[in-house]
Amino acid sequence: MDSIKAIIMDMFSAGTDTTSTLLEWTMNELMRNPKTLRKLRDEVRQVTEGKSDVTEDDLEHMPYLAAVIKESLWLHSPVPLLPREAIKDTKVLGYNVAAGTQVFVYTTIWEDPEEFQPERFLDSSVDYKVLHFGLIPFGAGRRGCPGITFAKVVNELALARMLFHFEFSLLNGTKPEDLDVDEALGITVRRKFPLLVVASPRI
């Protein structure tokens, strides 16, 4: 019973904060980049034309949505730095790594790293493979996140449904360039201040 409780607790703590952190960063970037927001909203609404909601089977027809989530995970990885410790003296790519050394694995840098450009993941083979170092938000190596497949669907579906049902705008007087990307440190790296946007039901 203790093990079952620990596993359930692990799933909740690993799966909830990561997801809400990612979705808040994604909305932040979409509000800062109105063209991207429009392009994504158009994709979601074209694919679901005539339907009353987005369903899981619509997602495979939304490549731009997948690219937006990948870009967001790359630019604002919710869990960016996880330390590992060498348990014995070892050699990696010719470097000596002494037992007890803390090692951080970090992602490859892309061009224009500070720009939100989902297009870089369109028509690209880069995926959430834990050994593909261009995109490792779910960890690298053998001990990766076991929730990858579930997380991908939940993130895409949640974002698609928001854009299907609502129009989003900034508070009066706020311009896209006023939105900051300040980070607060914690287990996940969240926005320092909550994102404030107006969600109006789609007419």
Task: Please list, in sequence order, all residues whose beta carbon lies within 8 angstroms of the beta carbon of residue 89, skipping any fewer than 6 positions away.
Answer: 96, 97, 98, 99
Residue 27 within binding range of ligand HEM, rule CB under 6 A: no
- Asked if 107 interacts with ligand HEM (CB under 6 A), we say no
Could you tell me the two tokens for 165?
């049902």
> Residue 68, Cβ neighbours under 10 Å: how many?
30
Maximum distance among all Cα pairs of the chain, rounded to whole angstroms: 63
Binding of residue 118 to ligand HEM (CB under 6 A) = no
We find the least distance from the C-beta atom of residue 63 to ligand HEM, in angstroms, to be 19
CA–centroid distance for 31 within its chain: 16
Give whichever of 113 and 141 is closer to ligand HEM, judged by the CB atom.
141
* Single residue of 86, 126, 145, 195 touching ligand HEM by CB under 6 A: 145
145 is an annotated ligand-binding site residue = yes
Q: Is 151 in the site for ligand HEM (CB under 6 A)?
A: yes
Q: Which is nearer to ligand HEM, 95 or 104 (CB)?
A: 104
Minimum distance, C-beta of residue 152 to ligand HEM, in the bound complex (Å)? 8
- Whole-angstrom CA distances from 19 to 45, 106, 147, 170, 179 are 23, 20, 11, 22, 21
Q: Rounded to 5 degrees, what angle do the CA atoms 122, 113, 187 make? A: 100
Q: Which stretch binds ligand HEM (CB under 6 A): 86-94, 120-128, 132-140, 165-173?
A: 132-140
Find, among 27, 134, 159, the residue nearest to 74 by Cα: 134
- Residues of this chain that interact with ligand HEM (CB under 6 A) are 10-11, 14-15, 18-19, 22, 78-79, 82, 137-139, 143-147, 150-151, 155
| Binding-site positions for heme | 145
